[in-house]
């Protein structure tokens, strides 16, 4: 276990990403928003959590057949695009204040 990873810049960014996705999930779930909004937030929390565990347990060094930093960057770009699209839809539609808060 890499005990210094959560205090590193990469670890702090991963924790912040997961926290923002949890807050968005709570806002979407509380406002009974459509399932696509909540499921995307849950998927973002799960995938970010898996990458956090991957680096925390140093599995990236054991599983050397994949270039993990590139996979992490690819995941970040795809997640940012999906979240941007979903959040724009949530802000444009704004069925209620919870959906608007989750989109923001």
What would the pLDDT profile of 87-100 be if each residue is shown by its tens digit?
Answer: 787 778 767 777 77
Q: How far apart are alpha carbons 50 and 84 in whole angstroms? A: 21
pLDDT of 21: 87
Q: How far is CA 30 from CA 1, 15, 47, 86, in A?
A: 36, 22, 22, 17
Residue 95 CA from chain centroid, whole number: 23
pLDDT of 56: 92
pLDDT digits (tens, 9 = 90+) for 43-58: 889 999 999 998 999 9
């Amino acid at each position: 276990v890499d005990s210094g990873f959560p205090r590193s810049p990469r670890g702090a960014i991963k924790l912040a990403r997961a926290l923002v996705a949890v807050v968005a999930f709570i806002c979407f779930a509380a406002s009974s928003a459509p399932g696509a909004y909540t499921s995307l937030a849950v998927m973002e929390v799960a995938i970010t959590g898996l990458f956090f565990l991957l680096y925390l347990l140093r599995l990236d060094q054991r599983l050397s057949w994949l270039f993990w930093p590139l996979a992490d960057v690819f995941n970040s770009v795809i997640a940012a695009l999906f979240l941007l699209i979903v959040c724009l839809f949530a802000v444009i539609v704004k069925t209620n204040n919870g959906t608007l808060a989750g989109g923001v």
